[in-house]
Amino acid sequence: MRPSLIVATGSATHPGLRRTLNEDAHLALAPVFVVADGMGGHEAGDRASAAVIAEFSGCVGRPSLELEDVSRALARAREAVEELSTSGDVRAGTTLSGVVVAAVDGMGYWLAVNIGDSRTYRLADGELEQISVDHSVVQELIESGELTVEEAMADRRRNIITRAIGASSTGDADYWLFPAELGDRILVCSDGLTSEVPDARIREILMTVTDPQTASELLVDEAVAAGGRDNITVIVVDAVSVASRPGTLLATDSDIDMDTRPREAAAGGVR
């Protein structure tokens, strides 16, 4: 059976300039494109993010995943991180953000998942849209009207997250399921990118650098050049072929139709 969605991808990571250890981890192998930003100090964050990525590695190589696959991997990841936490005196924890390739009636979809303040964006028709909603203190203050987005960037509480995998958090992940369109470019990143490089510059790079690997490396380089105060991880995923007509017998290449209809509003969030 033909895959519902074929992607081209690139990724890059860097410890930054202030930290010796890179506690970010990532997986960028179809159908899984996720970033985990570990925390906890004394290598606990390192082990937490690695444990989560290890759980999702089991899904690599499948043509597409379902919500249940992701929630199961997440549940196993939570157990693995909790085990880390109880084996020492440090409460390990990690964020998780990204997309997996999904299929609905044979059509290509993105299933985005988020817990914490790593981010998933979509660049489509020249617009860079943040899909994930940060689980952070400053995000809550933005939503309640107490802080503007600009104030939040400089607020001393900007690194405090309200949900995590591990770190004594039981907060659920958010999920979004939306149809993939030919030309979609997904960006998944840790906050080491977004706290250093403004969205407008991120958009400019994603718009002008065609190759996803080169774009990933350039984004990381910019974050390092801007100060590199945190670990930085970037994944760029491009939709290069999207099966979009349900019920078609996918016998030959010509049966794969590119969806050229106007983009419909992204399917509502599944929470």
Q: Which is nearer to Mg ion, 37 or 196 (CB)?
A: 37
| Alpha-carbon span 177 to 210, nearest angstrom | 25
The C-alpha atoms of residue 268 and residue 93 are separated, in whole angstroms, by 29
User: Using the rule CB under 5 A, is 82 a contact of Mg ion?
Assistant: no
Q: Which residues, 150 to 209, sit near Mg ion by CB under 5 A?
A: 190-192
Nearer Cβ to Mg ion, position 7 or 39?
39
Q: Which is nearer to Mg ion, 9 or 190 (CB)?
A: 190
Nearer to Mg ion, 36 or 205 (CB): 36
> From the CB of 13, what's the least distance to Mg ion, in Å?
11
* Among 2, 3, 9, 19, CA closest to 192: 19
State phi, psi for 190 to the nearest 5 degrees: -85, 170
User: Does 37 participate in binding Mg ion (rule CB under 5 A)?
Assistant: yes
Q: Compose the 214-253 pattern: x for residues touching Mg ion by CB under 5 A, - for all others.
A: ----------------x-----------------------
Q: How far is the CB of 93 from Mg ion (least distance, A)?
A: 12
Sign of CA dihedral 173, 235, 187, 145: positive
Under DSSP, is residue 120 helix (H, G, I), strand (E, B) or coil? strand
Minimum distance between the CB of residue 29 and Mg ion, rounded to whole angstroms?
22
- Listed in sequence order, the residues at least 6 apart from 119 whose beta carbon sits closer than 8 Å to its beta carbon are 97, 130, 132, 134, 187, 188, 189, 191, 194
The interface with Mg ion within residues 89-148 (CB under 5 A) comprises none
Contacts with Mg ion by CB under 5 A lie at 37, 190-192, 230
